[in-house]
Amino acid sequence: MRGILDKLETYIFYFLIFVIPVETRLIVARWTQPFNQWTAGFVYGTDILIFLLFVCWIVRVFKTRSFSEIKSAVAETFKLKWTNPHLWLVGFFTVSALSILN
């Protein structure tokens, strides 16, 4: 079963990379008449593929690890390493300056 899931995940990923240039959208809702693309809801084909890829990844992670291992891995990944508030302020000003320049 694990081999099939890995192959499916690989195929979905390569198919996602292949279809990015031919982005296709499905109109889900229209809120104005006549049709205006700025007031309509869309679902793109790549959104569906990314969702499927994410589901395959979640299933693979939960099948190979226990909940405590996943919890400790997530906690270690998102652990804050900046304890000095001045570093946070410098980071905020850096991002603000970059966004002003762009």
**The domain containing residue 67 runs over which residues?**
2-101
How confident is the model over 52-58, as a mean pLDDT? Answer: 87
Q: In the chain, pLDDT over 90 holds for what percent of residues?
A: 5
Q: Rounded to an integer, what distance in angstroms lies between the CA atom of residue 9 and that of residue 54?
A: 9
pLDDT at 26 > cutoff 60 = yes
Predicted model pTM: 0.58
The count of structural domains within the chain is: 1
What is the distance between the alpha carbons of residues 46 and 16, in angstroms, rounded to a whole number? Answer: 6
